Amino acid sequence: MTGTCKGSLSCRRASLLCCQFFLFLLVGVLSAQQGTAPNNYYPAGYSGSTFTGKVVQTTDDTITLSYSHGNKTDTFEAYATAQCDLPSTKTVTRPMPLSQVQLGAVVTVFYQPITSKVNGKKQKRNQVIGILFQQVNGRQVAEEHQAIFFCVPKPFQSYFMAFQ
């Protein structure tokens, strides 16, 4: 037996399964920047959506992230309805606009997709719930120092939510 098959039904099925498996792996790699929030306490109504990328633009109430994979780049934009409790020192946070997030930082944005009507047309926008810093000044933030900095109006109630 030589271990080759030419045109047999079982050979074609094996090839098809192999192709489907590699396609599944490729899709998983290409969508790796989008994810699901870890189990934690979140504001009511949060659905668990996240996007990780490099900060390329900010205004006081918007943030734009970019994620490159191969020769393709995905861009993500979200808006905040309130200032974020961002770190002002290693141990203190204070309300700040999104424009204070450093360009080039790698962050995970926790967001809620919101659909609303603008001029009679449905428009989908992403509302920032919180930000987690992954990399700042080119240096990885140690996992034990990572925290979610919320960007929601106060006071807000948080509930434990399990997404995974």
Pair 17, 43 in one domain: no
Per the listing, tokens 């926790």 go with 110
In the chain, the number of structural domains is 2
Pair 21, 102 in one domain: no
Going residue by residue through the chain (164 aa), what tens digit of pLDDT does each one get? 444 555 554 444 444 333 333 333 333 333 347 899 999 999 988 999 999 999 999 999 999 999 998 899 999 999 999 999 999 888 899 999 999 999 999 999 999 999 988 888 999 999 999 999 999 999 999 999 999 999 999 888 888 888 87
Pair 4, 40 in one domain: no
In angstroms, the first-to-last Cα distance of the chain is: 47
Confidence (pLDDT) at 113: 95
- 115's CB contacts (< 8 A; 6+ apart) are 122, 123, 124, 125
Pair 24, 61 in one domain: no
What is the dihedral sign for C-alpha 9, 10, 11, 13? Answer: positive
List the domain range (segments joined by +) for residue 9: 1-30
Confidence (pLDDT) at 1: 46
Confidence (pLDDT) at 7: 54
Pair 39, 24 in one domain: no
Which strand (E) or helix (H) includes residue 99? Answer: none
